[in-house]
Amino acid sequence: MKPSSSALFDGVLARGEVATAVGDDAWLTAMLQVEATLAQVQAFSGLIPQADADAIAGCARPEHFDAADLGARAAASGNPVVPLVERLRALAGPAGPSVHLGATSQDILDTAGMLVAAQALRPLLADLAACADQAARLAREHRDTRMVGRTLLRQAAPTTFGLKAAGWLTGLDAARRRLEQVRRERLAVQFGGAAGTLAPFGDDGPDVVESLATLLGLAEPVVPWHTERTRVAELAGALGGAAGTVAKIARDLTLMAQDEVDEASVAAGPSATAPDRKPIAAVCALGSAASAPGLVADLLAAMAHEHERAAGAWHAEWRPLRELLVCTGSAASWLRAALERLLVHPDVMRANLARATTASGTADDAADAAGVLVDRALQAHTKSP
């Protein structure tokens, strides 16, 4: 699974830690972890000798494998697990027949995908949480900062910047909660064997799945989900929702930074000149998030798997899933940078409001009403996990 990365563009479109967490090395490590853990579980169940499981674990190390070579050899079988298992069996010597016992390639790759996603969600969720905290700070500090409200890109009734930031906050908290729920409940181990029946294990099959899920830290499915792809769809939907939330905030920041508006700007970085207040971080967040809807659609379109094993739809998931994690992670990382360096211009907000309306009482009434809503958003944020 060669990464679709670019040294030229990744500085903008693959910012943060998520891109590394879903790279080839991460996938290789995850696949080997699944194979080694499966062997240990089978040894616990008396299905293979413990010595074989220990030998497999000793050989299932990334340094013994070349991801590029596995990817090239995958063309013969249609997936990289087959050459990986061949190599692992050769390394394991006498323990080779115990490698991958009763498993099918999709068991290993799907489970590895869940492990990779779980790992990638950690920095993504951390960035979303940091963004939410920044939005909460802005809402608190500007609870009563009056500004022009805008609907259909035109001036409307007065509002407050605190309420605008509170809207950002509730969206970020909702996106984060949904991703947390998916990570906790829907990232599940995959193990069913050739046709998803667990037939090679007889009555021990469910126990093997339970133990494998426990040791890998993944959810235990009721039945194998080889062609029932709602888990992938839910992950895609949650990532798409997070990307959309980030994009909305970034869009607001770019609009507020326009010269004729000038209600917010970004503090100049160490390499920027003092007058340079271009919203680069917000622009890059928008650029990163823009790929998410199409990638979500690709994953939803790939849900129609035939019978007990898909003829191509499974393969069609691999790149969109990884790229969706990368673009959403990059967008969240960029937004965090934008919010942490955001400069709010209350004086400009007041001046714009004064030009827009002479009804100061209306602005005061709006601020009072908005303050109640800001307080509610902040209270809900403190209760967020």
Burial of 372 (0-12, 13-18, 19+ CB in 10 A): exposed
Residues acting as catalytic residues: 271, 309
Query: Contact, 50 vs 23, CB < 8 A?
Result: no
- Output the furthest CA–CA distance in the chain (Å, rounded): 87
The span from the CA of 11 to the CA of 8, in Å, is 7
Count other C-beta atoms under 10 Å from residue 282's C-beta.
Answer: 28
Query: Contact, 264 vs 346, CB < 8 A?
Result: no
Helix segments in the chain, DSSP class H: 10-13, 18-21, 24-44, 50-59, 67-73, 81-92, 105-141, 161-185, 205-216, 230-256, 280-289, 292-301, 318-340, 346-356, 360-383
Structure tokens at 191: 């193990």
The span from the CA of 99 to the CA of 116, in Å, is 22
